[in-house]
Structure 1
Amino acid sequence: MFNVVNLPKIELHCHLDGSVRLSTLKELGTKENILSPDIEEDELRTLAEVPEHCPSLVDYLKRFELPLKVMQTETALARIAQELVEDASADGVRYIEIRFAPQLHQLQGLSLNAIITAVIQGAKAGEALTGTRSNIILCCVRHLSPAASIELVEAGRSFLGRGVVALDLVGDEHNFPPEAHAEAFKLAKSYGYHRTVHAGETGIVDNIRKSVALLYAERIGHGVSLEKDAALYADIKAAGIPLEMCPTSNLQTKAADSYEAHPLHRYLNDGIRVTLNTDNRTVSNITLSEETQNILNAGLSATQLKTLYRNAVSVIFDSEQEKQRLMALWPDEHGI
């Protein structure tokens, strides 16, 4: 059997605030008097990682409270972004798109410009150290106002081509549908942002339709519930719109029942452009190698794994040259 860690991998759906090293959380939390210096690892994990039996996405999202508290300075943001690229590279990831919501990092008065700059600088420092290429996706937040999303689009515009590649919409999908932020995504499209939207993660399949029709989504984050709507399923398949799937996270939020029953298998077999991702390395306590192994153990073949990789390479928000570089990294048929 091949070593999954050694295989090149692509990470398209990874949240910065959900992927902070526990050691960094403890150090920064202690420094900011948020955590006790004597905090035990088990207690820290309880705060930062989702429990085995998580009742819902809303409960899952509570695990972001601690990292967001320590991610309020430029130094912390740059460090955490750099460490994420380093950790991903050590896991065999050769290209990563890191997403985060700048407006959640303004508790100490940082400007959106300063926040975005810090994250780009950190990610690019990690890229220089490891060779793993990184790009940044800015996230609008569902429960914030439409005006806040437009503000973010405007703030990020000058960073297009300098680290920022796309816009996303995140947060409580159940209570905040996507259409409220349609104007921001229309503006983003006109400025040249790529677009990916969290949709269909909590069973609301119509959010996938709205994200494509109203928010101009080129990719869908999760999309677990797509098969609930046959007509939409056919449209997504025909259009070749990719799904950024995150099985472990979906099991934890009860969007799927098991790795074996996860719709990734059915979608992939039917020609949907599925990709495999972690969602949150720390919150979900998962690496992309572990995610890959879990799906292999659940019945994915080596040939299908190569298809997942090729799918991801073909839909990165980067140049054709970068796609060619990444495609050339995958071993030949006899390499696995």
Structure 2
Amino acid sequence: MSAQSTRSLLTHDILTRAPKVLLHEHLDGCLRPETVLDLAREIGYLELPESDPVRLGQWFFEGADRGSLAQYLEGFRHTIAVMQTAEALERVAYELGEDLAAENCVYFEVRFAPVFHTAENLGLDAVMRAVLRGLERAREDFGIESGVIVCAMRNQSADLSLKLAELAVSWFDRGCCGFDLAGEEAGHPAKHHINAFQFIKRSNGSITIHAGESFGPESIWQALQFCGAHRIGHGTHLIDDIAIYEGKVVKVGSLATYVLDHRIPIECCLQSNVHTGAVKSLAEHPFPYLLREGYRVTLNTDNRLMSHTTMTDEFRVAVETYGCDLQDLERVTINAMNAAFYPYADRHRIIDERIEPGYEALQAELAAATGGVSS
């Protein structure tokens, strides 16, 4: 049976049951539409554009799917507005864990900017405590392990970024696993926040940086070589450092070579990258090339609500658009687990006990369905 035929057996059920690892998801972009409505009612927030959860979810998606990062971010004012209490933050974090566990995500990292959740007098530590309490409850109830990444914002002051770096470090032994810089790249270079990154590095912390999403390879280079990023968020414009002619690689630049040789993980977010305009279409996304050439790529949702996606949906896109098979999905998942900001022993425990056995079982299932030929 052909590879195309075996890929056709990768049904929604199979893809749902495939073990997954998620490294790039924003807390304020992952809410269920029903939860947005509930939280708005609780605090008397009256600015939501829709009162029906289906229509509200569609409104968020249509607003985000306009090919512009700035427009993509507009909907976050509503989600952030309803996430200003400890109870709301705990609920959103808990429900994310529940939703991911339902599609067999075995580990995830969720990132957010704590400073956005202090409008109603919650302190930064109280914000962190609430989110981590929700994640811990999810682990107890669903067996899903996780970590929190603190985000600083490119358009905010370097002093505030340093303060947030200090916050992250103070929670490193209590569930915070890393530090990130997010927001519009153009006009807001990462090196302006170098004091924050140096503090994280001096504290032996882990760094991921949004780079190469709305700007070119220079942004990725600066994230790596100025700020010491261990992973790159999105990184779609790395492909600009690679010359491809008629499907064949003509030249690989020094940056792309460095990323490959040093095994820098890339947090790919397929559908989100189309919605923000990072790529014009799924067909033009660099993910399949990077996967084929051995880059340490991972698959992620970015913002489940805004992009109306799940990890299962991202797997489906990889299968249907790029011809990925189950071995490819396993490889991407192991890439992500190896790249996780999680203790080495725990990473390998999850790979050995949950990821590899899960894929082995699915391979056997497909082999049985195809008379001994698996994907």
Give TM-score, length-normalised by structure 1. Answer: 0.96
Residue from 225, 230, 237 that aligns with 1:225: 237
Q: Which moved more, 1:47-56 or 1:110-119?
A: 47-56
Structure 2 equivalent of residue 283 of structure 1: 306
Paired residues of 2:57 and 2:308 also in contact (CA < 8 A)? no
Deviation at 1:113, TM superposition (A): 0.8
Q: Distance in 1 between matches of 2:119 and 2:79?
A: 13
Is 2:200 the partner of 1:188?
yes
TM alignment of 1:142-181, pairs within 5 A? 142-181=154-193
Q: Name the SS of the counterpart of 1:82 in structure 2.
A: helix
TM alignment of 1:230-249, pairs within 5 A? 230-249=253-272
Larger Rg: 2
Deviation at 1:292, TM superposition (A): 0.3
TM alignment of 1:57-136, pairs within 5 A? 57-136=69-148
Q: Which moved more, 1:253-262 or 1:182-191?
A: 253-262
- Residues 8 and 146 (structure 1), Cα distance of their counterparts in 2 relative to 1, 3 Å cut: same
Q: Distance in 2 between matches of 1:31 and 1:43?
A: 20
Is 2:293 the partner of 1:270?
yes
Paired residues of 1:48 and 1:64 also in contact (CA < 8 A)? no
The residue type equivalent to 1:270 in the other structure is E
Q: Name the SS of the counterpart of 1:244 in structure 2.
A: strand
Deviation at 1:16, TM superposition (A): 0.4
Structure 2 equivalent of residue 261 of structure 1: 284
- Residues 203 and 156 (structure 1), Cα distance of their counterparts in 2 relative to 1, 3 Å cut: closer
Identity %: 33
Structure 2 equivalent of residue 327 of structure 1: 351
Q: Which moved more, 1:250-259 or 1:261-270?
A: 250-259
Deviation at 1:261, TM superposition (A): 2.8
Deviation at 1:36, TM superposition (A): 7.2
Paired residues of 1:47 and 1:66 also in contact (CA < 8 A)? no
Q: Distance in 1 between matches of 2:324 and 2:79?
A: 34
Deviation at 1:323, TM superposition (A): 1.5
Deviation at 1:122, TM superposition (A): 0.8
Deviation at 1:34, TM superposition (A): 1.5
Q: Distance in 2 between matches of 1:41 and 1:105?
A: 23
Q: Distance in 2 between matches of 1:273 and 1:129?
A: 32
Q: Distance in 2 between matches of 1:49 and 1:65?
A: 14
The residue type equivalent to 2:29 in the other structure is G
Paired residues, number = 336
Q: Name the SS of the counterpart of 1:77 in structure 2.
A: helix
Paired residues of 1:30 and 1:36 also in contact (CA < 8 A)? no
Deviation at 1:335, TM superposition (A): 4.7
Q: Name the SS of the counterpart of 1:34 in structure 2.
A: coil
Is 2:19 the partner of 1:8?
yes
Structure 1 equivalent of residue 245 of structure 2: none
Q: Distance in 2 between matches of 1:242 and 1:177?
A: 21
Q: Distance in 1 between matches of 2:137 and 2:103?
A: 17
Superposed CA deviations along residues 298-324 of structure 1, whole A, max 9, x for unmatched, are 111222222111111111111122222
Paired residues of 1:169 and 1:196 also in contact (CA < 8 A)? yes
Paired residues of 1:313 and 1:327 also in contact (CA < 8 A)? yes
Q: Name the SS of the counterpart of 1:241 in structure 2.
A: coil
The residue type equivalent to 2:44 in the other structure is N
Structure 2 equivalent of residue 22 of structure 1: 33
Residue from 326, 329, 334 that aligns with 1:302: 326
Q: Distance in 2 between matches of 1:75 and 1:50?
A: 29
Residue from 51, 63, 73 that aligns with 1:39: 51
Paired residues of 2:232 and 2:266 also in contact (CA < 8 A)? yes
Q: Name the SS of the counterpart of 1:94 in structure 2.
A: strand
Superposed CA deviations along residues 265-295 of structure 1, whole A, max 9, x for unmatched, are 0001111100000001111110000110111
RMSD: 1.7
Unaligned runs of at least 5 residues, structure 2: 1-8, 242-252, 367-375
The residue type equivalent to 1:28 in the other structure is L
The residue type equivalent to 1:260 in the other structure is A
Q: Name the SS of the counterpart of 1:129 in structure 2.
A: helix
Q: Name the SS of the counterpart of 1:17 in structure 2.
A: helix
Paired residues of 1:116 and 1:156 also in contact (CA < 8 A)? no
Q: Distance in 1 between matches of 2:113 and 2:202?
A: 21
Q: Name the SS of the counterpart of 2:284 in structure 1.
A: coil
